[in-house]
Copies of this chain bind each other. A is one copy, B any other.
Amino acid sequence: MTKFELTILGTSSALPTSQRYPTAHILNVHERFFLIDCGEGTQVQLRRFHLRFSKINQIFISHLHGDHYFGLIGLLSTFILLNRQTDLHIFSHSILPELLKPQLDYIGADLTYKIIWHPLNFKKPQLLFEDEAVEVSSFPLKHRVPCCGFLFTEKHKELNLDKEMIDFHQVPIRWLHQIKQGDDFCKEDGTVIPNKALTLPPAKRRSYAFCTDTLFEPEVAKWIHDVDLLYHEATYDNLLEKRAVETMHSTAGQAATMANLACAKKLIIGHYSARYKDLEILLNQATQIFPNTELAMEGAVFPVSTSKDN
């Protein structure tokens, strides 16, 4: 099956630790590499996990706290050293290009590629990108600064041909494309073979939702309903819910509750406070509410599947 796979590059919250990197995810959808957030050191992590820089054409920055974007200038700079020529699309708060402008101007003469900035809408969901394979949309989260989550969904897929029936009805090759699109087959003698008799249902569309830095906000569930893989921040354990509310973050239990509300198939938690050396407490609290939960870890790879058993 074509790839739909998440690689975690960083799992820490704002304070750095010696073992964890700040937030960055790479989502591989059919060999398109979407970079989601870009904390300091993201480019080192890309190297470490053998992910090719040149495959990244879209970068999504959820919000402008440093642990989610301070690695961007380094990556943009390295693209120059790698002689990148392809346009790069960055989806972020509209102020980000202004924040980086003096630094980009300073290296401007050397810029080998074009950066195309796309402002996010922090008030309502928005379609950000689509091509023949995938669509990416954003939806508002609730944090101390404007913040978005992102939803990546495979496009509607073609019907699968039922090869036995195609052979049985001796369907010429030139018809196959139309039949995959849903057309009936009309024989030369005028007999019509209905599409249903020739095809099998398409593979399900897979989806990944990224919910970082947010107060627990039940309303978010409606935007990510039925998602296959949900990443939700879990900065604190349940005992620190008050602290979570003060800082506009979530607890492990709240992340798991969101997975339930959204009918997600699988949950990954991350964005751990530096106070947790051992993450078992967060995992235990989440699995009590939503059993199919795993911890995000640097370098971990999660294939996105429509099955509950992934």
Which stretch of A39-47, A184-192, A233-241, A252-260 is in the interface?
A: A39-47
Does A98 reach chain B (CB closer than 8 Å)? yes
Return chain B residues, CB-CB under 8 Å to A16: 43-44, 47, 74, 78
Cα of A241 to Cα of B203 in the assembled complex, Å:
57
Interface size of A by CB at 8 A reads 31
Does A106 reach chain B (CB closer than 8 Å)? yes
Cα of A70 to Cα of B42 in the assembled complex, Å:
12
Do A74 and B18 have beta carbons less than 8 Å apart? no
Which of B14, B40, B81 is in CB contact (< 8 Å) with A71?
A: B40
Do B17 and A47 have beta carbons less than 8 Å apart? yes
Give the interface centre of A21, A70, A106 by most chain B CB atoms within 10 Å: A70
Do B78 and A15 have beta carbons less than 8 Å apart? yes
Do B74 and A66 have beta carbons less than 8 Å apart? yes
Which of B41, B102, B107 is in CB contact (< 8 Å) with A101?
A: B102
Which residues of A from 10 to 35 have beta carbons under 8 Å from B?
A: 14-18, 21
A10 to chain B, nearest CB (A): 10
Does A171 reach chain B (CB closer than 8 Å)? no
Which of B17, B40, B100 is in CB contact (< 8 Å) with A74?
A: B40
Cα of A263 to Cα of B277 in the assembled complex, Å:
48
A12 to chain B, nearest CB (A): 9
Return chain B residues, CB-CB under 8 Å to A66: 73-74, 77, 107
Do B70 and A74 have beta carbons less than 8 Å apart? yes
Do B44 and A81 have beta carbons less than 8 Å apart? no
Which residues of A from 269 to 295 have beta carbons under 8 Å from B?
A: none
Return chain B residues, CB-CB under 8 Å to A77: 66, 70
Does A52 reach chain B (CB closer than 8 Å)? no
Does A64 reach chain B (CB closer than 8 Å)? yes
Does A54 reach chain B (CB closer than 8 Å)? no
Does A308 reach chain B (CB closer than 8 Å)? no
Contact with B along A60-98 (1 / 0, CB 8 A): 000010100011011001100110000000000001001
Return chain B residues, CB-CB under 8 Å to A98: 102
Does A99 reach chain B (CB closer than 8 Å)? yes
Closest residue of chain B to A72 (Cβ to Cβ) is B70
Closest residue of chain B to A76 (Cβ to Cβ) is B66
Return chain B residues, CB-CB under 8 Å to A14: 78, 81
Do B44 and A43 have beta carbons less than 8 Å apart? no
Return chain B residues, CB-CB under 8 Å to A102: 98-102
Cα of A14 to Cα of B43 in the assembled complex, Å:
12
Does A178 reach chain B (CB closer than 8 Å)? no
Give 11 CB contacts A-B under 8 Å: A14-B81, A16-B43, A17-B47, A18-B44, A21-B44, A40-B41, A66-B74, A70-B77, A95-B106, A99-B102, A100-B102
Known: A21-B44, A66-B73, A100-B102. 12 other contacts (CB 8 A): A14-B78, A15-B78, A15-B81, A18-B44, A18-B47, A41-B44, A66-B107, A70-B73, A70-B74, A70-B77, A99-B103, A102-B102
